[in-house]
Amino acid sequence: MRKQIAAANWKMNMSYQDGVKLLDDVLSSKITLTADQQVIFAVPFPYLIMAKSEVAEETNNFIAAQNCHHKEAGAFTGEVSASMLHSVNVRYCIVGHSERRAFFNETNEMLAEKLDSCIKHQITPIFCCGEALEVRESGTQNDYVSRQLEQSLFHLSAEQIRKLIIAYEPIWAIGTGKTASTEQAQEMHAFIRSLLRGKFGSEIANEVPILYGGSVKAGNAKEIFACDDVDGGLVGGASLVADDFIQIIRALK
């Protein structure tokens, strides 16, 4: 069975003290995860070491960075490289979140470099893809997402693709309160899996977890996660509320 993953993206939220309390509250719920289930907390850079310490004794709980730079090292003041993340034993990193694409002009080609750097340093990328509202309304969402994958992922080998997590984010459903219907989520997740199948074969396509990342909430997680090709969620606002995120974790298949 593919990994079923509840990934929390804190974005630029939480004080250090609030972050400690949130992690303590979630972890103290003592959720028993199966071998196929994982919880990942993507926390701001200053909290990575603290968060790693918090989950150190927990089973199937991991910490992720929210971003990394696409270059190995250099005069990039304020940036963090995959090699730096590796040096503090961070093993997951979000790559290509829609907010990074929109606000920081990250291109598909740049994201391909980030993926290469993460994989080189034994970091599992959580690669985000998805369309804006105008693309969805024009009916061209499949072409749009296909280009994102082809330009960022398809240079990788089958063995490298095995190391990825993909998150489908309908941008029109992030932070808006709107959520793709279960039919829309399943349709796009199945389409993404078909692209992987066409490029890398069925065995690889059936192994790669594809998360849904558009306004996942405690009240809709179970229905969304029940879709055949949805393997959990990349959760924003609801991951900042311990009780909500606990319910989302419990909704994993």
**Encoded amino acid at 191, one letter:** F
- Structural contact between residues 46 and 15, judged by C-beta atoms closer than 8 angstroms: no
**57 is a catalytic site residue:** no
* Measured distance CA(225)–CA(250) in Å, rounded: 11
C-alpha distances out from residue 181 to 111, 160, 187, Å: 28, 31, 10
**Encoded amino acid at 216, one letter:** V
Helices (H) and strands (E) in the chain, counts: 12, 8
Annotated catalytic residue: which of 106, 121, 169, 189? Answer: 169
Q: Which helix H or strand E contains 125, and what residues bound it?
A: strand 124-129
**Encoded amino acid at 6, one letter:** A
* Measured distance CA(251)–CA(241) in Å, rounded: 16
Structure tokens at 34: 């199966």
**54 is a catalytic site residue:** no
Annotated catalytic residue: which of 97, 106, 121, 189? Answer: 97
Output the CA torsion sign for 157, 162, 167, 168. Answer: positive
Give the residue carrying structure tokens 């790669």.
208
* Measured distance CA(131)–CA(66) in Å, rounded: 20
Q: Which helix H or strand E contains 222, and what residues bound it?
A: helix 221-225
Nearest residue to 249 via CA among 218, 215, 208, 211: 218
> Catalytic residue numbers?
97, 169
